Amino acid sequence: MAKKKFLSIEEKRSWLAGIFRDTSGEYSQADKFKAMIEDTRLAMLAEEAEKGAQSIAMPGMPAELLAHLPPPLNSD
């Protein structure tokens, strides 16, 4: 199996949480603050992507209902 080329958002957030919660003194307060800001940005991106996927389905129709519909028929 081919290796993944990029880290997932969850992997990035986990790494940033390690920086933010560091107690060994390896990271400065500025580094922790930057990690917090980047984590917030990634959380917002994930939330927007989730909302975008739901809104693409159909306005006014929950995505859960659409998941139960059969695939469209080809009109060829």
Distances (CA, A) of 7 to 10, 14, 24, 49, 61: 8, 11, 25, 16, 33
For the whole model, what pTM was predicted? 0.61
User: Could you give the percent of the chain with pLDDT greater than 70?
Assistant: 80
Percentage of the chain exceeding pLDDT 90? 46
Q: Residue 40: pLDDT band by 50, 70, 90 thresholds?
A: very high
Torsion sign, CA atoms 52, 56, 62, 65? negative
Average pLDDT score over the chain: 83
**The token pair that represents 21 in the structure block:** 């919660």
Q: Are 13 and 32 in contact (CB under 8 A)?
A: no
